[in-house]
Amino acid sequence: MILNLFFMINLRKIKKNFKKNLTMSIVVFLAIIALFSAFYFFSRKDESKQIYQVLIMPFDQVNSDPIEDRRTSLKFGDVLLTQDEQHTWSATEMVSYLIIKMNLTEEQSQKLTQGIEEKLSDEEIEQEINRYISAIERQSSKEDLERFKEELKQRRELVQIRKYRINMDEFKGFDRNMLISGQPYQDKVYDWSIVEKK
C-alpha cells in the first residue's frame, strides 16, 4: 500500500516534469527557428542587387601556346569588365563588344571577371629558387633563401583568365557583325542564371 502510494506520487512528479520539459523544449526549438530566420533575412538583405552593364567578348582570342592561351586569351562569352548602369561606352566599345544589362550583387559582378589562380608546384618553386640563386651571383644567406621559399609557397599564379562565362546559347542567332548596327539586347535585363562556370 505504501509502495503503491509512493509510486503514484512519483508518477505525478514525472508527468509534471515531462510537461514542463516538453514546454521548455518547444520554446527553445521555436527560439532557434526564429534566430535562423532572422539571420537568413538579414544576410539576404545585405546581398542587394543593382543593374550592371556587362562587356562580353564576341569572339575567341587565340594564342598558339595552349598554356598561355588559357592564361591570357579571352574567349567567346567571357566578360571583360562590368560597369554601373549609367556608364557611357566609347563608340569603339559599342561596335567591338556585346554589352548587356544584368541584375547582380556586387559579389556576382566581381566573379564575372575573376580568374583561376593556383599555388606554385614544388617543381616550380625549385626552379624559382635556382633562378634566384643564379641571378644574385653570390651566396645568399640561409635566412634570405628560406624567406624567399616561403614567399614562393604563398604565391598564386593565374592559370585561367576567367572562371565564369556568359552562356551565349541565351543569345541565339547572335553574330558579332550585328554590333555594327547597334547593341541588340539592350531592352532586357538578365540575371545570374545566364552565367556558367568554365
Domain ranges of the chain: 1-46, 49-114+161-197, 121-154
For the segment 40-60, the average pLDDT, to the nearest whole number, is 81
Distance between first and last Cα of the chain: 80
More confident residue, 154 or 66: 66
Q: What H or E segment, with its residue span, contains residue 72? A: helix 66-72
For the segment 85-95, the average pLDDT, to the nearest whole number, is 97
Contacts of 146-150 with C-beta under 8 Å, sequence gap 24+, read: 149/125
Mean pLDDT taken over the chain: 84
pLDDT tens digit string along 168-190?
999 999 999 999 999 999 999 99
Q: Count CA atoms within 13 Å of residue 32 on its CB side.
A: 6
Q: What H or E segment, with its residue span, contains residue 19? A: helix 2-46
Map grid coordinates 543593374 to a residue: 51
